[in-house]
A and B are shown apart, each in its own frame.
Chain A
């Protein structure tokens, strides 16, 4: 299982890549493995403003429906339309091509609640 160092994580199994005020988010390798074959992704529209922890979409595997939670607060700049067309990208490349949203952070303190890769991998091992 992969836990890239350049990403921050949440205990809800989202990752966040912080580049200045812009944050790219998706779900983790652990999450995609736990869910199994992803067959459906539902994402919000560009422009929507998300609170930290707010539900912004859904991923569905054959067996389960899971909500997606915003790791940081901000305005949605971009949505990965490819994912909606090919949900299996989440299984193939969760930290890369399966990015879900790009968010313009409105509150830079919202990254304080994120954990680093080491803490996240420790957390996952205990589940």
Chain B
């Protein structure tokens, strides 16, 4: 039996096509992936992301505990701040990528990928048990079933959301959040975060309030062109930004530096799990790197296709994600290649159904939003 979010009934009413996404029955599309994608970039899109995992960490030493668990600097976060980070294993590989919200000095919300929730939670508990003496009393609890999460993304997202809350959203800067209420006193976290490259918010509310808030947003956004987006558009939107998707770009074997996530790896902070191996790899030099490429011929690169050198004689890597880019109207992909072939402008070939197609390493993100966030 597939798991359903609180918004399942809304998706059905909207005529969504539902699919099995890692054990969750979720909409892959409503009107069509390309329309949803372009509308999110032009107006705004609303996404059900309630399948994401929410883990609470509470206790005086929460900050130093999380600081030891993840690669980014948690200890120095302000209350109200969010950070993106990688949680590594002892080999420096990615257990998951996640967002941490500091709700109080001693209280954090950790939001993880749906398919990794169990694994992450177990990892966090194991680490706590192993090093308990360092942190004293600390509660780590998996609260995923208590939350509905709705993302509203796109240039008009703030003005739409502001119609159903008094919270001063313009004061919530990118990668910060505010706690307030939505509609009739429904407690909510408004986080200025997302997975599309657009301005936007991720709204955390209790499970039961999901449908009410979803419907209110749909209504508030009607005149602004707000439309629902499924997992299909979510994937093409994040691909255009080269945002990694766990399972594609990140696995338990991926070093965050290879994935281009050096900016969330703080090697100079206090020790964290995986640090030694990451440091070692960075001193030795990386073997491979995640690059973005465009196809120079007609064709669509896909997850798992092999990457060869320009002449097509030597295998140098593998595509991790690829699609037709709705914004650029051309085929793009991301993948790992040998470090020597990772420079912008390098010519590659992609093997598609036993034929070789020319491609070129390009600067990323593929798409840049044409407005400033205010």
> Which A residues are within 8 Å of any B CB, using their own CB?
36-37, 39-40, 42, 58, 60-63, 65, 84
Contacts and interface: CB of A to CB of B under 8 A. Distances in A.
Chain A interface, DSSP helix/strand/loop, else mixed: strand
A63 B232 contact: yes
A63 B298 contact: no
A62 B299 contact: no
B232 A40 contact: no
A40 B353 contact: no
Given A37-B33, A40-B331, A62-B324, 11 more contacts: A36-B17, A36-B32, A39-B300, A60-B300, A62-B34, A62-B232, A62-B236, A62-B323, A63-B33, A65-B300, A65-B302
Contacts of A39: 34, 300, 323-324
Contacts of A58: 353
A40 B330 CA distance: 10
Chain B interface, DSSP helix/strand/loop, else mixed: mixed
A58 B353 CA distance: 10
B232 A36 contact: yes
B358 interface: no
Interface residues of B, number: 17
Contacts, number: 35
B342 interface: no
Interface of B: 17, 28-29, 32-34, 232, 236, 298-300, 302, 323-324, 326, 331, 353
Contacts of B236: 62
26 contacts: A36-B17, A36-B33, A36-B232, A37-B32, A37-B33, A39-B34, A39-B300, A39-B323, A39-B324, A40-B298, A40-B299, A40-B324, A40-B331, A42-B299, A58-B353, A60-B300, A62-B33, A62-B34, A62-B232, A62-B236, A62-B323, A62-B324, A63-B28, A63-B232, A65-B300, A84-B298
Contacts of A37: 32-34
A58 B302 CA distance: 14
Contacts of A65: 300, 302
Nearest to B17: A36
Contacts of A63: 28, 33, 232
Nearest to A40: B300
